[in-house]
Amino acid sequence: MNLDLTGRVAVVAGGSKGIGRAIAVELSRSGASVAIGARGEDALEEARAEIADCASAPYVFRGDLCKTDEVERMMSGVADHFGHIDILVNNVGDSIVGHDWRTSDADWAAMLETSLMSAVRCSRSAIPHLLESDHARIINISSVNGHQPTAGRGDYNAAKAAVLAYSKTLSLELAPRVTVNSICPARIDTPLWRRMAESMLDDATPTIDEVLASVGKRDVPMGRFGRPEEVAALAVFLASDHAAWITGVAYNVDGGYTKASA
């Protein structure tokens, strides 16, 4: 199957680490010109070097992609630099274990800003450019928690459920010009999960790698955490011409973690 994306321009919001970075790398390897945006300077520079090492140098934007003015500055900068935008990947997000029914309004607002409104603002800013493309794609990184919630992450679960509903809505509003699909990962070995694993260290699992191995064996039928590259492979397919008639769909990439059949 030829997934050649030569000539396409892809924006990966939240593209400096983990799943977003893996997607940016794989899009670039498939021929796309890539732009990445995030807040952390060191992670952005590491991502820039990795992408440039395997393909062409990316356009890099350092800023807060939860803020409308910075999102608009990034999208206009990408369009000016490359001439057009064909693909948007929304991957900005965060998760904190232990946010239960007592979670404050401020924490709820912060989670919704990061994990939902970043996708709304990036999409709103990119769509006028995407509507000029013959290969327009929006790919939203949600989570299996959006349809199979876990305790202690109520704000995250709700935000990711909202991303799924928003994606479906956009798919109806933008058809047939733009396809809009969601990817729902679970138990992927990312910096975010490694940060959360720090709270799970104990005598039986004294290192982060041992925590991830234990949780993977316990929770995932495939017996391990997934790799960011395994999520990126689906994103590249959804960005390609082979997915031109697929829209409004949410795909689990979870090693069998999700219990429901649909």
Q: What is the DSSP string of 5-73?
A: -TT-EEEEET-SSHHHHHHHHHHHHTT-EEEEEES-HHHHHHHHHHHHHHSSPPEEEES-TTSHHHHHH
Q: Judge whether 225 and 187 are in contact, CB under 8 Å.
A: yes
Alpha carbon distance, N-terminus to C-terminus of the chain: 27
Distance between CA atoms of 74 and 69, rounded to whole angstroms?
A: 9
Q: Judge whether 117 and 67 are in contact, CB under 8 Å.
A: no
Bridge partners of 89, per DSSP, are: 12, 139
Among candidate residues 156, 166, 251, 257, the one labeled active-site is: 156
Q: Judge whether 239 and 32 are in contact, CB under 8 Å.
A: yes
Other CB atoms within 10 Å distance of the CB of residue 185: 25
How remote is the C-alpha of 104 from its chain's centroid?
26
Give catalytic status of residue 257 as yes or no.
Answer: no
Could you list the active site residues? 156
